[in-house]
Structure 1
Amino acid sequence: MNQALFPPVIVDGVEISASSIAAEAQNHAAPKGKPGLAWRKAARALIVRHLLLREAEALGISAEPRALGNGRRETIEDAQIAALLDQTLEAEVVSDEDVKAEWERDPSRFKTPPLWEASHILCETEGAAKALIIELNEGARFGDLAKEHSQCGSAEAGGFLGQLSPNDTIPEFEIAMSALEEGAITQTPVQTRFGFHIIRLDAKEDGRQLPFEAAQNRVREALERAAWVQAARSYTSELMDKAQIEGIILPAEAPKKETAI
């Protein structure tokens, strides 16, 4: 991105540098050939961050960074922003009637997760996997080839992986597995960071629709989350409306309807 085409942004006399916006733009998607869109998204994000931090400091809000898992912790600034929003926002209360109405709008959205039983053969090279697929199509036994050739610990069990739920495997594997019919084998090796997989779907069970009693907590949490997001959007828009912003024209953010699913 050519930073010379995009000036710094000034928020109430404080500069947000072009280099900062360019770095932030890497986190915002935009159509190919339209870097200005990613730039505006990044600028808006940094403007909002600046205004929230300034508001937290004005209110004397401090916060202890929380652990995020995997040895990571949030930054002091992120902790301040979270504390500000927790203290300031007043989200719309979600009533029992709201929850029931949201569920009745389309009950089929609320289901148990699907389940799969699958086996695989893991090969180091694509060529080796393709050769085994030919053997399988000619009648070779999947379990025998898995025991002899698979580079996975499941080889001893004939490649059987057991019962799998969403997110139990890496995305490429799950996408290929879930597209299969029961008993079918992938006809093209599935490449992941571990190597090349031949996948057989042994059984599958589609998610079952949940009754209201089982789904209501999930619906309530989603509605409360949507109400919080709307309150945060309104709050940040108010801060931006009060600020003097130079160097960029930001169109008003279109209102978005938040739904439970």
Structure 2
Amino acid sequence: MSAGVAAVNGVALQQAGEQVSPGDLRERAWSELLRQEAVRTGWLAAEAALQAPRLQADQEAAIHRMLQEQVPQRTPDDEECARFHRLQPHLFAVGSRVHVRHILFAVTPGVAVRALAQRAEEVLLELSHRQAPPERFAERARELSNCPSGAQGGDLGWLAPADCAPELGAIFFDEKLASLHPKLVQSRFGFHIVEIVERAPGRPMPYEQARERVAALLGQRARRTALHQYIRVLAGRARIEGVALEAADSTLVQ
């Protein structure tokens, strides 16, 4: 292997002389860590590889099944759900609605995620500037958003909690964050610059009615944390060269 080439356990993440951004290198490293773990645990067939191969659809599906087995969904208990409902009642109010607009920077196959996040941060900084004109948000949404709402200046209209992905609903319906918009948040779709235009508060939902929604939200949060810890453990066990990864030496905890 050539000097200066990033690698995971001796498998190169780039070709000699290839210039790759740190963010792209990290993405390649995570992917190769998962591929090697799938080979080690029998989910993928072993193959001689000096260069990290591009994953095919069937290989990605096998890795997804591996993660489902090794990082199972945790169901929060009733005490945990009740405590969360007590501390975050606004997330489960009946009749709550928010008028939202956003700019979506979509994460698609092959995209450089770190570069995309950096671009979103640059646009957020521009829109947060005190001298930014009010119409600038809509202009940037029409220019940059990967959501069909971009044609309407990013306007999503009035939304109820059930209309949103849980990770977005947690932001949209947190009244304490109203003064922080526009704000950059991440979801399964990519990076969003969101702004709350107007709120219509609802009435509290009793815990007995909200129990399933609370459990679903907490379960999704726990799984994201567990997946992050899982891959950090893989990094801690591997020989990593030429790329900085967050690693851990502890076992998986959900």
The interval holding the TM-score normalised by the smaller chain is: 0.3 to 0.5
Highest relative contact order (Cα 8 Å, sep 6+), 1 or 2?
Answer: 2
Computing the radius of gyration over CA atoms, which structure comes out larger, 1 or 2? 1
Q: Could you state the TM-score of these two structures normalised by the residue count of structure 1? A: 0.46
Q: Could you state the TM-score of these two structures normalised by the residue count of structure 2? A: 0.47
